[in-house]
Structure formats: C-alpha cells, structure tokens
Chain A
Amino acid sequence: MTRNGILTILAVAVLGGCEREMRPPEVLPSSAARPRPIVRQTTLQPGRPLAQAEGRGPYDENAYSISQGQRLFSQYNCVGCHAHGGGGMGPALIDDTWIYGSEPQNIYATILEGRPNGMPSFGGHIPEQQAWQIVAYVRAMGRLVPKAAAPGRNDHLYSGESPQASGPGEELRQPAEHPR
C-alpha cells in the first residue's frame, strides 16, 4: 500500500464518515416517490445506449446497513444456497462473476424478481429497505463497497452449520467447558 493509498483512504474514509456511520440510516422514501430504475441485463441496445441508471445503491456506504444486510443474509436463509458467499446450490457471491449484473439495481432486481434455476422472488415478502440492505451486503462480499464500510467478521462459527440451522441461542460448539 503506497503512502498515497493510505492518504486517499484516510481522506475518503474520514470525510465520508458522516454517511458511513449514520444509524439507523434514513428510511427510504416510499416506492411511489422512488421509481425503480430500468434494469438491463445486456449492454446491447438499439441505437445509442441511454444513460446508465445510478450506479450507487442507497446503502452502499452505510456500515450499519451493510451489517444489517449481513444479518438478514443469514436470517432469510440466503446462506442455504449461497453459503457465506462461497456458493453451493447457488452461485458464489464473493467472486467477480455476476450472472445478472453487479450494479445495485441489478442485484435488487434479482432479489425481488427471482431468477431461473432456483433463486426465489422475495418481492412483496421482504420490505424494500431490507432488500437494499442485502444488496449492499452482497456488493460488500464482492468487494464493491468502500473498505471502511465493509463488515468485519461474524461472531458465529462458520464451518458446518449456519446459525439458522441450530436456532438462536443454542451453543454451536463448546470449545472449552465453562464451569459454573
């Protein structure tokens, strides 16, 4: 990491502190006031390409929202198919391959609409704000959010079971007996 790199990170991270640290973040305006952007799954367009929709998710830089996305990713059982990003039945999310696009609105559309071959459609079942938080977390897994906002490690055990499988509060493993 060059000194310039450090300085840049410092400047961006510090000055961006306001948005990164807000919690809970601003509630999104209702969908009536916020029309969904057109999601294109190919770059091919007739004639001149129209201007790309905004490339930033509303919560991309908010650390609290990304952390909530991490929680929801487990609680809504995304880990059932995607594991913790490594994939399984579903594709991996920590690599650079995005079947349906990596822009926030693309991931949002994927979550809400569902996709062929097994991705459920969560539209109407989860609130939009939570969907955007999951979008932010998925992009964090793909290293597409600022490093300072990205979540740290979980406080749970990863190998084998997910927290969902064993229910909240049950010890996943007792590494050492804690005597009373």
Chain B
Amino acid sequence: MSPKSVVIQAEPETPEADLLDEVHHRLEGAWRPEKGFIGWLSEVRHTAIAKRFIVTAFIFFALGGIEALLMRIQLSRPENGLLSPDLYNQLFTMHGTTMMFLFAVPIMEAVGLYLVPLMIGTRELAFPRLINYSYWIYLIGGLLLYSGFFLSMAPDAGWFSYVPLSGPEYSPGKRVDVWAQMITFTEVSGLATSVTLIVTIFKQRAPGMSLNRMPLFVWTQLITSLMVVFAMPAVMVSSSLLAMDRLIDTHFFNPGEGGDAILWQHLFWFFGHPEVYIIFLPATGFVSAIIVPFTRRPIFGYNAIVLSLVATSFIGFGLWVHHMFATGLPQLGQSFFTAASIMIAIPSGVQIFCWIATLWGGRIRFRTPMLFVLGFIAIFVAGGLTGVMLAAVPLDLQVHDTFFVVAHFHYVLIGGAVFPLIGAVYFWFPKMTGRMMSERAGKWSFWLLFAGFNLTFFPMYQLGLQGMPRRVYTYLGESGWTDLNRLATLGGLVLTAGVVVFILNALWSLRHGAIAGDNPWDADTLEWETSSPPPSYGFLYLPTVHGRHPLWMPRENQPVVVGLQDNRREVLVTHTLDAEPDHRDIVAGPSIWPFVLALVTGFTFITVIFTPWALPWGIVLAIIPLVCWFWPRSDMGRVILKEKA
C-alpha cells in the first residue's frame, strides 16, 4: 500500500447526504455480517466474536456459580451427607477451573475485543481469523471439561492440580488428563487473543492518539495481553509435563526417580500469580473508563495510573512463591517474596488514591455502573489489605490453605474483578445492544450482590483463623464452625439472588429496554461516537484525536481519515508511539479455515488424552487447514462492488 495514499482532511462542513449514504452502502457491503450456517462459523468481525465470547463466558460463570452454591449447601451443616467426597472434590475443582480459566480471563479479553477497536478508532482487529480460531478453541476446551463432568470424568485434584496427587499413581483414570488438556485449549485461546490485541493497540490507533492519549482501558488491555504472553507458557509447559508423566511415564514430578513435586508448584504459580493480575488489571480499566463520565471530569493522575499498571505487571511476576510459603523453602528466599508481595500494594494503592481523588474533585452521578465501581473500591481495599497480611510468612503459615485465603481471594476477585465487570456490562450494554438496562433492577442487583457477597465471605476470615482448612467436604460438629458456615451459605443465597436479578435484567432489557442513543451516558471516548449498536464497519470515517477525551473536547474541523478503500476491509496502520499514519493494510475477511483448524487441533488435543499417537497425526492433519488459511490471496477482504465507470 502506498504510504502516501491516505489523506487526512477536514470533514466537509455540510456533507452531502448522498455522499455519506454511498460511503455507508459500500462499507456495509465490505463489512457485512455473514449469512447462513457456514457464514456464522466463518464470522471474523470483532464485535460478533466478542459477543460470542461474552455470552459463553457468562454461561460458564453461571455453571461455576451453581457449583459454588452446591458446595455452600453441603457445608452449611457438619457431616452433611448431601454430596459424596468424590463429587465435592470434583465440584471445587470444576468451580475453580471454570471461574479462572473459562470465565475470568476470557471475559476480560472479550470486552477488550469488542471495545478496543472502537476506542482506538479503527475498524477491525489486526488478526480477525486468529480471533475466530481463538473462540472456537476456547469453546471446545470448555465443552471438553463439561462433557467430562457428565461422564464422571471431571478433574478432582483441585484447580491447581498439585502433584503427586494429580500424578499417575494417585489420580487414576483420565480426569486429570482432561484438566491438563483443557488448559492447553484455554491457553492457546488466550495467547491468540493477546497477540492480536497487542498488535492492534500498538499499530492501529487513530492518528493523534499517542500512547499518552490512549484511554486507560486500552492501556490495561495492552499490559494484560503482554502479561498473558509471558505467563501462559508456564502453565502450558507444566500441564504438558503432567500429561506426559501420566500418559507416557516420564518422571518430571516423580521424586522417586529424580523428579520433584515442588517443580510443579513453581511452574504453576509462576503462571498462577500473574493470572490473577491478568484478571484484575482489565477490571481496573473498566473502573477508569466508568468513573470518568460519572464524575464529569478527567481521571486524576493518568500518568501515575499508567505507571502503576506497568509496575503491577512487572512486580506481579515476582510474587509466585508466596503460594508456597508452607513448603519449607529457605527463609531468605521467602523474605524476598514477602517484600515483593507487600510492595505490589503500592501501585494498587496509587490507583485507589487516584480514583478517590477523581471522586473528590468530580460531580458524581450515582447510576448503576458507578455503584459497582464504588462497591469495587470498598471491597477491593479490604481484600488487598488481607493480601498484605498473607504476604507475611509467619501469618501465612497459619492461614494458608484455610478459609481465610478463600475469603481474601474472593474479596479481590469478586470485588476487584466481577464488580467492575458487572458495572461494565451495565455501562456498555447500551452501546452493544442499543438498549438501556433497567436502572431499578440494576440498583437492586447491586445491593443484593454487595450484601450477599459480604455476608458470604466475611465470616470466612474468622473461620480460617479458627482452624477451618480449605477443600474439605465436611467438618465435625464439635468444631464450632457451624454457625459461621451457615451464615456464609445464607449469604451465598443472597449473592445468587443478585446474580439472577442481573442476568434477568440483561435478558429482559434486550427486548424491552429503553432505546439508547449513541452516547446515553455522555461519555468521553471514541466508541460513544458510533451508533448503538455500532455499524458493522465501526466508523464511517476513521476519526483522529487531539486529546484524551475526544468527545468531551471536540474541536472545530477535527480531521477524519479519508483514502481508505471502502469496498474492502482496510484499516489504517500508524506508528507505535505517536500514531502518525504509516500505511493502509487489508485485514482478513471471513474464512471457514480457522474453524476447521480448531476442529482438527481440538480433536488432536482431546485424543492425546488417550493415546500419544494423536500428536504426530494431529500435526500432520493440521497442515491442511493451515495451508488453506494462509494461502496467499490478493483480495483477502472481499471485493464486492466494482467501481462505477
């Protein structure tokens, strides 16, 4: 593409309606959604894929919630015979695995897939077919895990699957193999999405959107995606080593033959700790995005927040041993990780202070998305402080693997990630569907969730200090833990009610919600410039920006980008740091081959559970869809309209 073929010019004062209609018609043609079943499988537009991700992830959230509710009911009485120990072990393993791998990371990435192109002023992500593949591989992995559940093959060694319990001797059968392979699915999916987001954010921002003018939401997506790239391989390696130990009798984790059970813990937690920041940082992006329109002011301390995000991501890779304080590692090493775990409170604290300052200096509208942001601040600060407690080795040695830890991480994960996520749904639902969610149901859902959450998890701090360990399917009556457990179960019911109200609100509002305009919240970022829902092509003309709050500081004659071809799928590629236009590029159009490749690789990974021969055969088979996918074509985006003479 000739670098000089893009012209930035001012939008005409009074655009001719015919001209705009023609442009719209041609863009619609190039970017239209696919029809038919094959078309649905081949769909690559980021909005469509993101919506699939979001719906699927929320279904997994509901399943994980049901598992949690069953556990809470089991624990409401001592020596309860409702669930057998085997079923309970499967339930807590499935709950953790579902929430961490099938819900939390995919949903955060999915919201990014939907919003990042719109927020940075481009039409599509950099690698649309890769995103398509990423969704299918994620879905197949989730289906693998849950069909395992119905075949009594659900993993039962915990979501962290410590060896030797999860090794070949103590976990017979294929349960843990299902877990290990599901990891492969979700991690491949995560890596594909992250790579796409990184490239899109770096190279496709609207002209004028230098890095220091990028919305904080986009910053979090960028940093999170980079963390994924560095963290996910560790768990892929460890799950592959475990699969090898189980399938082909290697001895990576066998202490009897020179392996080490601790190796598993190091590899897993090297991923596991960044994983929780991978879940948390996008949520801070939601908060930063929501708090601005509802305080009617720019966020306080943009630079400080960006630096905090970067610091968190770096320090987050140096914390993992705090999950292993009880294993008897040398004291000096443990102290290093105590220091790092305490230190990470500083950037998180800076973010909290900046948000509070934004509130202080703003004019607050207490609408539902804002309520969830406020609830997040309260709960997350509490959870973070208990994290500082857990960072201290002596104290951790008492409360590690007790309900104290369960309370802590639910405070930071539900308070720190799910609350902002639900607020984000309320906030961006109008943009995605064109309808507002019910405000009254929203407030009800908030208070039910807030009260239910605290009622469920606050007693668990006390339970942990009183000696109740984790992952126990029952407890003795004389333990004295009954009352607090009963209280927690009651809270769980209230929490469930809140979730149900939220989901019903969303489903009802799809049909009956008030029609939303382009910008119902009067927000400041670029996605609110499009219609609700956005057209398939995003922006009629790609915008340019001159500040951090494009819609709040409109300039007369703000230029738009012209010169992109509108009869095929083109985007503008800009420089990384300052977003100067560089060249045009074609992005891929719809294709069935990612789906076929997902089927082939999915089949390979699943069959590897049963025989190692699946791997060489699968690699050979996968060559076919790969070749078809990457076969060079000069018209990757379809050309549909011939130029008029």
- A residues lining the B interface (CB < 8 Å): 1, 3, 6, 9-10, 13-14, 17-18, 20-24, 63-64, 66-67, 70, 147-149, 151-157, 172-173, 175-176, 179-180
Contacts and interface: CB of A to CB of B under 8 A. Distances in A.
Contacts of B257: 157, 175
B103 to A, nearest CB: 24
B247 interface: yes
A70 B328 CA distance: 31
Contacts, number: 97
A17 B174 contact: yes
Contacts of A155: 164, 167-170, 254-256
10 contacts: A6-B611, A6-B617, A10-B606, A21-B151, A21-B152, A67-B170, A148-B173, A152-B167, A153-B251, A154-B168
Contact of B174 (A1, A13, A172): A13
A153 B169 CA distance: 6
Contacts of A67: 169-170, 172-173
* Closest 8 pairs between A and B when the two form their complex, measured CB to CB: A152-B168, A63-B173, A67-B172, A17-B151, A157-B256, A63-B172, A1-B613, A153-B249
B535 interface: no
A20 B607 contact: no
B617 A151 contact: no
A175 B258 contact: yes
B151 A151 contact: no
Nearest to B603: A10
A17 B254 contact: no
Nearest to B329: A180
B245 interface: yes
A151 B256 contact: no
Contacts of A157: 256-257
Contact of A9 (B86, B164, B611): B611
Contacts of A153: 168-169, 245, 249, 251, 254
Interface string B253-289: 0111110000000000000000000000000000000
Nearest to B173: A63
B174 A20 contact: yes
Contact of A148 (B169, B249, B254, B610): B610
B291 interface: no
A10 B607 contact: yes
B607 to A, nearest CB: 5
A22 B254 CA distance: 25
Given A20-B174, A21-B175, A156 B256 contact: yes
A166 to B, nearest CB: 11
Contacts of A156: 256
A154 B614 contact: no
Contacts of B609: 13
Contacts of B169: 67, 70, 151-155
B245 A152 contact: yes
Contacts of B172: 23, 63-64, 66-67, 151-152
**Interface extent on B, as a size class?**
20 to 34
B173 A64 contact: yes
Contact of A24 (B86, B152, B251): B86
A77 B258 CA distance: 25
A13 B172 CA distance: 14
B247 A152 contact: yes
A17 B258 CA distance: 33
Interface string B151-182: 11100000000001001111011110000000
A64 B152 CA distance: 12
A156 B245 CA distance: 13
B249 A152 contact: yes
A13 B247 contact: no
Nearest to A15: B151
Interface in B588-645: 606-607, 609-611, 613-614, 617
Contacts of A24: 86
Contacts of B153: 17, 20-21
A173 B257 CA distance: 9
B220 to A, nearest CB: 40
A17 B173 CA distance: 9
B250 to A, nearest CB: 8
Contacts of B245: 152-153
A10 B170 CA distance: 23
A173 B258 CA distance: 9
Nearest to A22: B152
Contacts of B568: none
A106 to B, nearest CB: 24
A169 B245 CA distance: 22
A180 B170 CA distance: 27
B256 A173 contact: yes
A70 to B, nearest CB: 8
Q: Which of A14, A70, A172, A176 has the most CB of B within 10 A?
A: A14
A80 B246 CA distance: 26
B610 A10 contact: yes
A72 B239 CA distance: 29
Nearest to B251: A153
A159 B169 CA distance: 17
A95 B247 CA distance: 22
Contacts of B610: 9-10, 13, 147-148
B298 to A, nearest CB: 54
Contact of B614 (A6, A18, A172): A6
Contact of A21 (B174, B246, B247): B174
A20 B609 CA distance: 14
Contacts of B301: none
Contacts of A9: 607, 610-611
A83 B246 CA distance: 22
B148 interface: yes
Contact of B152 (A1, A18, A70, A151): A18
Q: Which of B170, B175, B249 has the most CB of A within 10 A?
A: B175
Contacts of A173: 256
Contacts of A3: 617
B15 interface: no
B12 interface: no
Contacts of B613: 1, 6
